[in-house]
Each structure stands twice: as C-alpha cells, then as structure tokens.
Chains A and B, each alone.
Chain A
C-alpha cells in the first residue's frame, strides 16, 4: 500500500511546494546571511534563547535523482547536532534553553510557528539571498522579515525573549546518482542548512544564516562540528567563526 502513498507524496512535493515557490534552488543562491537593520548585537548579550527543536533530515539521492530519507543517518546526525550545540554554547554569551516538552494545543502552536518560520526562511532564501530573484515588492532589499507579533505567546511559555530555529537537510549522492550526473548532468545533491534568530516579542527575524551548499558531513562528528560552526557563523555576539 505504501506505493500509493509514495506516488501521492511526490505529486504533492513538486506540485505544491514548487508551485508555492518554496523550493530552494541551490545553484542560484548568492548572499548567505542577513541582519535586520537597527539590530544591535549587544542587545541580546546574556539573554536566554529558546532553542526550537532542530529539524534534521539526511538521506540519499538515488540514481533517478529522488531523495530517499535514511533513518540511521538522520538519527546519527541528530545526536551529533545535539552534542555539537552544547559545544557551541561555550562560545556564545547566551544560554540556550531547550524547548520544554509540550502537549496538545501548545505543541500544535509551536509546530505551527516552526512551519511558519520555515515558510519565511524559504522566502528569504528564494527572494532575498538570491538577488536575481528579488521580488519587485522587496527590491530595496531591506532585511525586514517577520513571523508577526502574535508569537509573543511563545515567549510566555518559555520565559525567553529570543528564539533560535535550526534546519538542515542533506542528500548524499548514491553511486548511481553520481554516474547519472556524469552522463546526463543534473543538479548536485542538496546540503541545505539555515539558522535563524527571532525576537519572540515582535516576531521579527533578527538574523538568518543560510546556505544551500553547506559543508561538513553531518554523519560524522567532525563534519557536524563544521556544519554547526557554519550554521552559527557570525551568530550575534558569539566567537563562532566558520571553519574552512
């Protein structure tokens, strides 16, 4: 029965996601980070930051170019990510507070904001960082993106003024995919990642760092260290710098 689901899923993935313009196209991206005008690094010094549960996806790009999630890679990457965030903490002036375990409506609200953040981050990547695809309505290029001030409800749950969202998705090419690309071309596998800081009182995105071609093999500790450094490179007020 799963076959039917699979088919429907792909129709949905391409029909809906592309049509909504949310797909990130690695080959075109240019800028990689943005800071809200007027945001001062010092304003968050020592503040608690609520860490939304990082979204980690790892899989394989098949010969036909399809993404096939790999549970064991994803699980390994998640463990490494959690450990590495603890490490990174030591180089930040902020305390990262884990999202408390929530149930029912509160859990749904948090999930809904995570989904909204993903939508906003996709718009930023597709229409801000890729300068050639700037919307005429955003031609001036000011980094003034928001999730809306209704998000203040989450500040109350957590007693934190700021929220940090992290997303990574990695497609590793299978042998078949490599050969196919040599023969007939095609886009290279995705290694997309982004991290964003949001003011939980206004909903404003203060800082976003994104790259559709991130480095670091997230399936290994060393690679994950590189990935997290890259994700949090130039995080306001931190001493984290991008590893080469």
Chain B
C-alpha cells in the first residue's frame, strides 16, 4: 500500500501536487477541533502581534530569503497537508538560506524555516512533522504564555530564555521566544496528532531529534572537542532527544498507520536546491557533519544528486585519498543519469588536481557544453587550455 502511494506521488509529483485524498490512509485519525481564526484576543496578544508584524516587515525584505515560488508553495502545501487547510492559512512561511538546522514560529503566524533544516529532512513526512510541531507552538499560544509570565515576573524560573538576537546589519534584533521543555513536549504531542490525521505516516517524526545529536557528535569527534548533546545544556529547552524519540514513538504507535512518507515528492522538489544548500553547509569546513547529513539523506536510496554531493564533499576536503573517492562519486552520478553540469565540473577539477589533465580537460569541456553560460565559464576555458 505504501509503495503504491509513493509511486502515485511521484507521478503526480512536485511542488503543486494536489493534496493526497483523505481515505488514502487506512486508519486516518480526525484532526483535533480547530478553534477558529487567529485573531489576537486581548491587549497583550495584540501587542505581541504588532511587534512581530514589525519584525516580519524586516524579515520579508532581508537578502537571505529564498523567494522562489516553487519551494515556497511547496512548504505551504506540506504544512496544509500536515495540519489541515483551515489551520495552515493562518501562517506565512519564510525560507531562509542558512545552513544551520532551525525553524521558528512567531505568535503572529510568521514561520521561518532554514534551508539547513530542509537539507536534513529525509522525506516529506519528516518535514510535515517539524512544520506541524512549529505550528502547534502557534496554535497553543506558547509565546503568549511566556510573555505573560515574563511580564508578571512571578514564574521566571520556568522560562528558559526569552530571547534571541539575530543581528540585522546594524543591530536590528529579532525577537524570538525560546519555548520551554513542557511546551516542546506539548508541541511534539500535538504534531503527532496532526500527523495521525494527515495523509502522512505518523512514524516519520520519531528519530529526527536523535539524528541531530548524532550529527553534532560526529562534528565534535572531528574537531576533537567534548560531545555535548546528550546530557549538557545544549538542548536545555528541549526534551532529551532519546526520551523524545521514545514518547514520539509511543504517541505514533497509538496511531499505527500506513500513511505516506512522500519520499519521491520530497526528492523531486528538493533536488534542484539540494546542491546549493549542501554547498552552504560545505562552506563551514565541517566535513564529518556534512558527511553525516549526506549519509542520512541518501539512506539506502541514493539518487544521482547525492553522488554529486558526495563528490563535492570529498573534492573540497581534497586529501589525496579524497580525490579517489570524489572521482568515483562523480562518475557514479553520471552513470546513474545525473544531468547536473556540476558533476562534470567536479570530475574535471578532481582529475586535474590528481594530475590527470587530459581526462580532466575533457570533463570540463562537457561541463561547458552543458552550462555554456556558467559564471565560471571563462575560468574553466582557461583550465582546459592550460592543461
């Protein structure tokens, strides 16, 4: 049943895929009762709304937003499929180009999702669960609760940190609330409910958080520093990842279902962006974590784009043995049918660095045939001539 669905998804495909019909999933739950439109209700709430409207003005004009209609529409579609149409229309989603894993939700309905999060999701159902999680902070008015407690000053101890500064050029600071542990758990449970009522497989939510810790462990090991994930304050505002995965698994077991993972749909929508997002990640000189991300993304179903990314990963580190791995990766991508010019570019540069100039020049020539207008075309022509 599931694989059938997945195939159907692939055929319909893409950013504007119509919502999967209710009833596709055998035992789909009902959405929790939706209390209606999100109008600020009292003075506190209106004030909070307005101040975030101000923040949103700034966000909407910042240069690090991804404005492509395709990906923005897709995010909206996934959120709608996750939490239901009546809910999702209360929000605006902004995709920010930033390699860090992050998403945030403001009380006025502004949701921000980093490209680094999209890079770390393995399928659409995982994305749906994260978007649902962020949405439920909004539905449950978590920011407002924090804000009221802060204002009364009586319950300071329960507030983890109220803050956050994101520097906008000259000290513009964006207010975002960090939610506390109970709120995070509440949001997890709510998102599990959404997922159960959605066409998605409920199980998808369970191990996102553990992967995040494993990624940082990989990074810590490479940089020879202490691992900080499991016990220390790194995740202080969030339930411990292991506990989290356990109760998420329990919550989803209640909704044992055979819903859609949207694996192909996610791949087809993200493929055009993945390389850019991954290059942003590679720029951080963060090899071990980047490799971890790629391995998780590819799983046991590597697509041609994954091999191109693997080539970039190893070519950019550039140890002698890396060049061998990189060459093999690019070649595999090409054999598997990748039409990305970057595969030939990477192959050509790898071969040249390994002193195989003739073959390198050939690969670069193919790159230029495929991408004659590439911004680096004059440079690559020189590389070919100079070889």
Interfacial residues, chain A to chain B (CB-CB below 8 A): 1-6, 8-10, 12-13, 16-17, 22, 53, 55, 57, 59, 66-72, 74-76, 78, 107-108, 110-112, 115, 118-119, 121-122, 167, 169
Contacts and interface: CB of A to CB of B under 8 A. Distances in A.
A69 B163 contact: yes
18 contacts: A1-B102, A2-B176, A4-B100, A12-B167, A22-B169, A22-B170, A22-B171, A57-B171, A57-B173, A70-B162, A71-B48, A71-B52, A75-B51, A110-B61, A112-B61, A115-B170, A118-B169, A167-B170
Contacts of B51: 71-72, 74-75, 78
A118 B166 CA distance: 16
B278 interface: no
B94 interface: no
A1 B104 contact: yes
Interface string B25-69: 000000000000000000010011011101001101110000000
Interface residues of B, number: 45
Contacts of B165: 6, 9-10, 13, 66-69
Contacts of A75: 47-48, 50-51
B263 interface: no
Interface string B161-203: 1111111111111111111000000000000000000000000
B101 interface: yes
Contacts of B58: 111
Interface stretch (B16-24, B75-83, B232-240, B346-354): B232-240
A133 B163 CA distance: 33
Nearest to B116: A4
A75 B52 CA distance: 9
A82 B54 CA distance: 14
B272 to A, nearest CB: 24
Nearest to A101: B57
Interface in B216-243: 234-238
A64 to B, nearest CB: 11
Contacts of B171: 17, 22, 57, 118, 169
A115 B44 CA distance: 30
A10 B103 CA distance: 17
A211 B353 CA distance: 55
B147 interface: yes
Interface SS of B by simple majority: loop
Given A3-B238, A74-B175, A9 B104 contact: no
A23 to B, nearest CB: 8
B164 A5 contact: yes
A111 B172 CA distance: 12
Interface SS of A by simple majority: helix
Interface of B: 44, 47-48, 50-52, 54, 57-58, 60-62, 98, 100-104, 147, 150-151, 161-179, 234-238
Contacts of A6: 161, 163-165, 178
Which of B62, B162, B171 gathers the greatest number of chain A CB atoms within 10 Å? B171
A5 B104 contact: yes
A59 B173 contact: yes
A107 B65 CA distance: 14
A25 to B, nearest CB: 13
B170 A121 contact: yes
B52 A3 contact: no
A72 B60 contact: no
B92 to A, nearest CB: 14
Contacts of A66: 163, 165
Contact of B166 (A9, A74, A78, A167): A9
Contact of B172 (A4, A55, A107): A55
Contact of B235 (A3, A74, A115): A3
A1 B238 contact: yes
A215 B103 CA distance: 37
A6 B236 CA distance: 13
Contacts of A68: 161-163, 165
Given A9-B164, A16-B167, 11 more contacts: A1-B101, A3-B234, A3-B235, A9-B166, A17-B170, A67-B173, A68-B163, A69-B175, A72-B44, A108-B61, A169-B173
Contact of B170 (A2, A110, A111, A118): A118
Contacts of B175: 69-71, 74
A10 B174 CA distance: 12
A75 B47 CA distance: 6
B102 A2 contact: yes
Contacts of A112: 61
A13 B147 CA distance: 24
A3 B102 CA distance: 9
Nearest 5 pairs of A and B residues by beta carbon = A111-B61, A118-B170, A13-B167, A68-B163, A75-B51
B245 to A, nearest CB: 15
B360 to A, nearest CB: 37
A5 B172 contact: no
B176 A5 contact: yes
A72 B164 contact: no
Nearest to A24: B171
Nearest to B167: A13
B151 A72 contact: yes
A167 B168 CA distance: 13
B17 to A, nearest CB: 27
Given A3-B235, A6-B178, A107-B60, A69 B173 contact: yes
A55 B168 CA distance: 12
A167 to B, nearest CB: 8
